[in-house]
Amino acid sequence: MPEYAQGAVISGSPDWSRQMQGINLRRALADLKEHWSPRVLGQVNDQYIKVVKVKGQFTLHKHDNEDEMFLVVYGRLVLQFEDGEAALDAGDFYVVPKGKLHKPVAVEECGLALIETVTTLHTGDVKTPLSKSIAEQLAG
Ligand code: NI
């Protein structure tokens, strides 16, 4: 079990009630191997807490029914919209409203935490080779 997840049950059927230690976002990010591949770390009611390491450009997409929160842990993320963009540095967060087209871009590697409704597909309305199922995001 990864160091950040000691005491937590991450894979299989998550049982967050058994978690007896905090989960560290930086360590969880350091454990990720691939860019653009989110990992579920926890759940708050109907929202997942995820981490994802990104670099380069993601696909332009939207989520028709869910807002999505991006929190930058390290690096810089630019969220491009049809009508402008938001540049986020470490410690900044941004909530993309449901239905708004967004394209995450990171020139250098950037570590993010995401808060997303459990039903949110991370590539939204677009199916791409980068799309990961929730099962893949839950897998340790
Ligand atoms: Ni999105």
SS3 34: coil
pLDDT at 16: 58
User: What Cα–Cα distance (Å) separates residue 117 from each residue in 34, 65, 70, 92?
Assistant: 22, 9, 13, 20
C-alpha torsion sign, points 14, 20, 25, 27:
negative
Ligand 1 centroid–CA 112 distance in Å is 12
Ligand 1 centroid–CA 62 distance in Å is 6
Question: What pTM does this model have?
Answer: 0.81
Reported as half-sphere exposure (CB side, CA atoms, 13 A), residue 102 has a value of: 26
Ligand 1 centroid–CA 111 distance in Å is 15
Ligand 1 centroid–CA 5 distance in Å is 25
Q: Give the pLDDT confidence of 74-101 residue by residue, as tens digits.
A: 999 999 999 999 999 999 999 999 999 9
Q: Comparing 127 with 52, which gets the higher pLDDT?
A: 52
Hey, which CATH number is domain 34-139, 3.40.190.10, 2.60.40.10, 2.60.120.10, 3.10.580.10?
2.60.120.10
Q: Give the residue extent of every domain in the chain.
A: 34-139
Ligand 1 centroid–CA 74 distance in Å is 19
